[in-house]
């Protein structure tokens, strides 16, 4: 069943998170190599049934927000952020009002510090709005509950019919906007409570145990482990490429690992003949079982004549992202007598990291010679080999669906 495309998402990220501690609000703390908010944004921006995403942020956090967005693939679904208010309820109302001109049929409201929402959970909430004006994901309470006071344990609380509410909480847009406007100045616990006050029927949808809200530093550590478990299918691919040199004096530079490097011989190839990026592209494609560079960019196709090789590498990285995976490491070895690679290695690492959108410390560029043996030793050409490690979602891991 396909839900209406007119679904918007409001991510509430204007809080200070005093219980979390640390120098940054919890939504901007680092989680698995990116800010927590980046993971939250990505979950909704990549969902096919979400049309728009807007984030309510603290007025002082614009630079932190922009950095979080940089860690997410560009998307025209992402709207400019709005400033939150003094209370969470105010932030939600401001965010809902920012969506008013778009007129979405449905809206999901998500905590910015809840980065583990899965596609299946998001879909269940959206579809729950087909039958009810509000949809609330819940997880049944399984632990024994005790009433406590003054450091002492009192009586046992009957847990029958109790559940833990989560986000995203879904609503028909017009209903929840009117409900929030009607309770301005009051302090209600969540958006479902606002809906209750308005008399809206709230449908129950299945939540997820892994849909963790980060409140403490321990929660952050736990979330990091969960994300690592989700990406537990570790794969490795290798790539190799060769290009011959044209006659000396045919060029002043060649492309190598995405940057121009001075050299008096041109490399012969259909594209820009960047052996480093070609080898790495094949390594990534091999890791995910997606063939080789020639299948995706045939040299017989004139549109790739003289093409920049970074486009090939970016395509391979996009295929990994579409599978819900990440590139864990990229290792390139350049094999040649000339040009000298060492002086350009830092720039090469930075450029490869930029293309792949990963941390530079995950990229290695090395160089070696063949001790004057073979075609590279005779300076007739240049070669590169590469190894890439990719982490993909592990089928059957709890919380992936």
Give CA 277 to chain center in angstroms: 23
* Average pLDDT of every residue of the chain: 92
**CA dist., res. 333 & res. 335, Å (int):** 6
The CATH fold of domain 7-226 = Spore Coat Polysaccharide Biosynthesis Protein SpsA; Chain A (3.90.550)
Structure tokens at 330: 């990229």
Question: Tell me: the pLDDT tens digits for 10-27?
Answer: 999 998 876 777 788 999
pLDDT surpassing 70 at residue 5: no
Give CA 51 to chain center in angstroms: 17
pLDDT surpassing 70 at residue 399: no
Question: Tell me: the pLDDT tens digits for 61-109?
Answer: 999 999 999 988 889 999 999 999 999 999 999 999 999 999 999 999 9
pLDDT band at 401 (very low <50, low <70, confident <90, very high): low
Backbone φ, ψ for residue 347 (5° rounding) = -65, -35
pLDDT band at 314 (very low <50, low <70, confident <90, very high): very high
Residue 15 vs residues 25, 87, 113, 191, 226: alpha-carbon distances, Å = 7, 8, 10, 16, 24
> Can you give the pLDDT at residue 309?
95
The CATH fold of domain 233-392 = 60s Ribosomal Protein L30; Chain: A; (3.30.1330)
Q: Can you give the residue ranges of every domain in the chain? A: 7-226, 233-392
**CA dist., res. 98 & res. 175, Å (int):** 15
Residues 71 and 267 sit within 8 Å (Cβ to Cβ):
no
The predicted model gives 315-323 an average pLDDT of 91
pLDDT band at 306 (very low <50, low <70, confident <90, very high): confident
**CA dist., res. 375 & res. 8, Å (int):** 58
The predicted model gives 143-171 an average pLDDT of 92
**CA dist., res. 300 & res. 316, Å (int):** 20
Which of 69-73, 104-108, 219-223, 381-385 shows the lowest mean pLDDT across its residues? 69-73
């Amino acid at each position: 069943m396909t839900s209406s495309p007119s679904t918007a998402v409001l991510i509430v990220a204007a809080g200070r998170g005093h219980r979390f501690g640390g120098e940054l609000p919890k939504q901007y703390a680092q989680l698995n190599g990116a800010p927590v908010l980046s993971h939250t944004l990505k979950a909704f921006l990549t969902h096919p049934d979400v049309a728009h995403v807007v984030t309510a942020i603290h007025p002082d956090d614009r630079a932190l927000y922009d950095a979080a967005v940089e860690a997410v693939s560009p998307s025209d679904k992402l709207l400019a952020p709005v400033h939150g208010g003094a209370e969470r309820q105010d932030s939600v109302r401001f965010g809902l009002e920012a969506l008013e001109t778009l007129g979405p049929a449905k809206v999901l409201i998500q905590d910015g510090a809840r980065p583990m929402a899965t596609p299946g959970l998001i879909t269940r909430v959206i579809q729950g709005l087909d039958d009810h004006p509000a949809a609330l994901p819940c997880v049944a309470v399984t632990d024994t509950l005790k009433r406590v006071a003054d450091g002492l344990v009192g009586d046992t609380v009957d847990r029958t019919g109790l559940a833990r509410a989560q986000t995203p909480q879904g609503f028909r847009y017009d209903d929840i906007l009117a409900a929030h406007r009607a309770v301005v100045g009051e302090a209600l616990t969540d958006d479902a409570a606002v809906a209750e006050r308005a008399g809206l029927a709230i449908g129950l949808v299945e939540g997820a145990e892994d849909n963790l809200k980060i409140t403490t530093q321990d929660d952050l550590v736990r979330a990091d482990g969960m994300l690592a478990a989700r990406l537990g299918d570790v794969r490795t691919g290798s790539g190799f490429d060769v290009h011959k040199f044209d006659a000396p004096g045919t060029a002043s530079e060649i492309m190598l690992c995405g940057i121009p490097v001075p050299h008096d011989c041109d490399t012969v190839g259909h594209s820009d003949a960047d052996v480093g990026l070609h080898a790495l592209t094949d390594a990534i494609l091999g890791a995910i079982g997606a063939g080789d560079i020639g299948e995706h960019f045939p040299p017989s196709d004139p549109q790739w004549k003289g093409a920049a090789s970074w486009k090939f590498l970016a395509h391979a990285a996009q295929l990994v992202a579409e599978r819900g995976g990440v590139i864990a490491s990229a290792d390139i070895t350049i094999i040649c007598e000339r040009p000298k690679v060492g002086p350009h290695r830092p720039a090469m690492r930075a450029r490869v990291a930029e293309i792949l959108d990963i941390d530079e410390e995950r990229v290695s560029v090395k160089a070696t010679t063949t001790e004057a043996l073979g075609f590279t030793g005779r300076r007739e050409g240049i070669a590169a080999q590469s190894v890439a490690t990719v982490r993909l979602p592990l089928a059957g891991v709890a919380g992936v669906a």
